Amino acid sequence: MAGIGFGTWSWGNQLLWGYDPDRDDPELSATLQEAVAGGLALVDTADSYGTGRFNGRSEALLGRILEDCSGELRSRLTVATKLAPFPWRLGRRGFDRAFAASQARLHGHLQRVQLHWSTARYAPWQEGALLDGLADLVDQGRVSELGVSNLGPRRLRALQARLAARGIPLRSVQVQMSLLAPDAIEAGGLKQTCSDLGIELLAYSPLALGVLTVSPGDLPPECTRLRAGLFRRLLPGSEALRAGMAEVAAAHRGSLAQVALNWCRAHGAMPLPGLRRVHQAQDAVAALAWSLSDEERDQLDALALACSARMPANPFMSA
């Protein structure tokens, strides 16, 4: 059964997540320690996380916190960042400076580098060169693992083959995957490709930005305007799905969030819930203690596939 990791997109993001350093920062270290001590084994960040003057803040906060943790705690965690193929990052050496900057913000606590998205749809000639540059980092021993993100089965096979030709394993692919974004589980979807190729599937936004944590009939939490719009759009159409989740949660004395995370695990994916509060870390850790039965998984699959509400697709996703 796949484990559970966690994500740090909200650390430094005002636009979508309403980041407030005075309110949020003091709890981040305890959140990370609770998560890692409880068995969450991978943390995901990106060099593009943090908005406006908080650009790079997610990596910087994570680096500072990891620097203050014990070596024993750090040794239980894989730290994974994503490098964005911005248009000015060109060719095989295009990520060199970005990688060095991420390393510095993370105080060297970095095991996996991931291509944040492929340029296949708008600058196809860049895709191979940038991937080769990341593979060079592994070859040179500057980072130990390589991952990709926002790829469908076709691009995943192509990138995996390119790396395999150099003898470099592709460790993971992360895509949006949740009960409100279930494409990966459909026949011929990414779940099958990952299992064929032996690549770890990481599920980002497994809680649908929090939509899947709202009990049927409840009001959404206070949040930014952008996120409130998503709640307004998705809550009505997902009422039956969340009612089904609530039944499963009650049977396991768990929460809706735990059901959402365990649905990903039941499909062989490692969910990466976004965490910034200690109670959220505790809830994610509690999900590790139980799993869905096959029958519960099938029931939730049917509700997810029938649900009229769907998360918006990531515009950077390629097929």
Ligand X SMILES: NC(=O)c1ccc[n+]([C@@H]2O[C@H](COP(=O)([O-])OP(=O)(O)OC[C@H]3O[C@@H](n4cnc5c(N)ncnc54)[C@H](OP(=O)(O)O)[C@@H]3O)[C@@H](O)[C@H]2O)c1
Residues that bind ligand X (CB under 6 A): 7-10, 44, 82, 149-150, 174, 204-210, 213, 221, 223, 257, 272-277, 280, 283, 314
Minimum CB distance to ligand X, residue 224 (Å): 9
> What DSSP element (H or E) covers 295?
helix 294-306
Query: What is the end-to-end Cα distance of the chain in Å, rounded?
Result: 27
DSSP 49-93: -S-GGGTTHHHHHHHHHHHHS-HHHHHT-EEEEEE---TT--STT
Q: Which of 19, 49, 122, 204 is catalytic?
A: 49
> In the structure encoding, which two tokens stand for residue 299, read together?
């029931």
Minimum CB distance to ligand X, residue 163 (Å): 18
Minimum CB distance to ligand X, residue 114 (Å): 8
Question: Is the CB of 163 or the CB of 281 nearer to ligand X?
Answer: 281
Minimum CB distance to ligand X, residue 310 (Å): 14
Question: Is the CB of 68 or the CB of 218 nearer to ligand X?
Answer: 218
Residue 295 to residue 287: CA distance in whole angstroms: 18
Question: Is the CB of 44 or the CB of 296 nearer to ligand X?
Answer: 44
> In the structure encoding, which two tokens stand for residue 207, read together?
């809680």
Beta-carbon count within 10 A of 193 CB: 20
Beta-carbon count within 10 A of 316 CB: 16
Question: Is the CB of 139 or the CB of 247 nearer to ligand X?
Answer: 247
Minimum CB distance to ligand X, residue 24 (Å): 9
Question: Is the CB of 149 or the CB of 318 nearer to ligand X?
Answer: 149
Q: What are phi and psi of 157, to 5 degrees?
A: -60, -40
Residue 122 among the catalytic residues: no
DSSP 167-224: T----EEEEE-BTTB-GGGSTTSHHHHHHHHT-EEEEESTTGGGGGGSPTTPPPPS--
Mind telling me the catalytic residues?
A: 49
